[in-house]
Amino acid sequence: VLAERAAEWNWLIAGYGPECPKIKQRIRECGLEKRVRLLGHVDYYQLPKFYSQADAYLQPSLCEPWGLAVNEAMACALPVVVSQQCGCHEDLVQENVNGFKFDATEPESMGTALDRLLASKYRWRDMGVTSKAIIAHWGLDLYSQSLWQACEKALSPVSTGTGSRIAESLV
């Protein structure tokens, strides 16, 4: 079933890590050598060129605190398919608006998300425009405001129930 679904896609996979030999083997086992291109290490300045070759972005992480590549893909106006194990999915992915979410621990869930993406092919451009609009708010201004608020909260007096104040020991 996965090989049938994969026939609808051409894949670019950037990066190199310890799982690369297993990925190459799996590509051969599924007969996808003509549909999957492993790019290896890609310098940061080259990323926009590869994003511009894509119709959509897939982040299949099993464990990812945030997933900055999702931000990059969205800034390049791509619809995104992001695992629920990727920390950014709650903040950045609006289901069926700019992309889709799936459970990376359930392979069929990813297949369903990709099927949904393929079924919405006529909306990919609009989904990408929405991605770009969503991520536009995640710039330095938001970061600096959030950092400032976090510092204020960390330094504000906190009651421990005994009348002492934790923040006093930090200053």
pLDDT value at residue 146: 87
Is residue 36 within 8 A of residue 58, CB to CB? The reply is: no
Whole-Å CA distances, 33 to 12, 27, 36, 108: 11, 6, 6, 22
Bridge partners, 84 (sequence order): none
When pLDDT is averaged across residues 133-161 and rounded to a whole number, the result is: 85
- Angle at which helices 68-75 and 124-136 cross, to 10°: 120
Kindly report which listed range (26-40, 112-126, 149-163) carries the lowest average pLDDT score.
149-163
Residue 41 has pLDDT above 80, yes or no: yes
pLDDT band at 78 (very low <50, low <70, confident <90, very high): very high
Bridge partners, 123 (sequence order): none
pLDDT band at 113 (very low <50, low <70, confident <90, very high): very high
Where is pLDDT greater, at 123 or 166? 123
